[in-house]
């Protein structure tokens, strides 16, 4: 796979915008489920880009920055997963992109370094920002924010273009390498596949409460039953989501009625009787 000048420019622009969106725009454009299809369209395989976005979203679903600790970056991880998957001609399935996910993780760490470097550079300007705030200098504060966005966007743009061009150049070599060192590539494939479950486990650790385990087990059973029926397997996720929505609506309506009845002093306790 060869990367044209137009594709390189588009990748730079996309990475620039996504890098800024992660901390400034906050429109969730940088999320893998959005970025994956965009990268697939740029690199000429939209279908594989959609699969990459969904697979890498599961990797990132429980990851979140806490203070100065940054998880492997979702932007670089998604871009490089798409680049490796398309350059190696992997199958457009969740299992097929497992190898690309494993290969992309080191580049996701580079994205983390870019964020940390930007924060380190900008920490020296916080005294200037405080002074601008004391003097009500809104233009000075805006300029500091624009500087941070420019630095972060450029770093992500350069890393993305360099990474994609490297992945494209290595595509044929990696394909031949996968036959000669199949055991190593199988290990990377397994590691990439496991990352999805690790991401979901992190999310469950944060959000899961004791009263939710029944719904989790019921959903697990339903998903397996639906997946085992040929006529229903294609819509398994949709059907599980609809059942979950029905339960959520019922729970909301029941709790609303309980609160309304409690607030209306139902039971006849009026005038001291």
Using DSSP, state whether 121 is helix, strand or coil.
helix
Q: Is-contact 43 7, C-beta < 8 A?
A: yes
Measured at the alpha carbon of residue 33, what is the angle toward residues 100 and 156, in degrees to the nearest 5?
A: 70
Proportion of the chain above pLDDT 70, given as a percent = 77
Cα-Cα-Cα-Cα dihedral sign, residues 134, 140, 146, 149: negative
Give the model confidence (pLDDT) of 66-82 as tens digits.
Answer: 555 567 788 998 998 88
Contact 78, 53 (CB under 8 A): yes
The residue ranking higher by pLDDT, 65 or 266, is: 65
Residue 7 has pLDDT above 80, yes or no: yes
pLDDT grade, residue 97 (50/70/90)?
confident
The two tokens of residue 108 are 């996701």
191 or 153: which carries more pLDDT confidence?
153
What confidence score (pLDDT) does residue 264 get?
A: 59
DSSP classification of residue 69:
B
Q: Summarize pLDDT for 200-217 with one digit per residue, the tens.
A: 676 677 666 777 788 888
Distance of CA 17 to CAs 55, 72, 114, 159, 270, Å? Answer: 22, 18, 15, 13, 62
Q: Is the pLDDT score of 241 beyond 60? A: yes
The torsion angle over the Cα atoms of residues 71, 42, 192 and 75, rounded to 10 degrees, is 0
Question: Residue 202: what pLDDT?
Answer: 66
User: Above 60 in pLDDT, residue 273?
Assistant: no
């Amino acid at each position: 796979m060869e990367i044209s000048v137009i594709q390189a420019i588009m990748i730079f622009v996309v990475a620039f915008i996504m890098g800024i969106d992660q901390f400034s725009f906050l429109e969730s454009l940088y999320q893998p489920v959005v970025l994956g299809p965009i990268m697939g369209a740029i690199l000429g395989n939209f279908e594989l880009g959609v699969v990459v976005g969904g697979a890498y979203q599961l990797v990132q679903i429980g990851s979140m920055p806490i203070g100065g600790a940054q998880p492997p970056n979702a932007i670089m991880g998604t871009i490089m997963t798409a680049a490796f998957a398309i350059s190696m001609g992997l199958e457009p399935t969740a299992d097929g992109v497992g190898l690309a996910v494993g290969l992309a993780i080191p580049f996701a760490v580079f994205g983390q370094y870019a964020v940390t470097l930007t924060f380190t550079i900008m920490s020296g300007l916080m005294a200037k920002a405080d002074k601008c705030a004391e003097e009500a200098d809104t233009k000075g504060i805006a300029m500091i924010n624009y500087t941070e966005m420019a630095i972060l966007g450029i770093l992500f743009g350069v890393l993305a273009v360099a990474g994609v061009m490297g992945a494209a150049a290595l595509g044929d070599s990696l394909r031949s390498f996968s036959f000669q060192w199949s055991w190593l590539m199988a290990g990377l494939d397994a590691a990439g596949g496991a990352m999805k479950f690790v991401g979901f486990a992190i999310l469950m650790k944060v959000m899961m409460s004791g009263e939710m385990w029944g719904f989790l087990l019921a959903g697990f059973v339903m998903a397996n039953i639906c997946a085992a029926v040929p006529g229903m397997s294609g819509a398994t996720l949709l059907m599980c989501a609809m059942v979950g929505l029905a339960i959520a609506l019922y729970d909301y309506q029941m709790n609303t009625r309980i609160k309304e009845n409690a607030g209306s002093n139902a039971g006849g306790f009026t005038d001291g009787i």
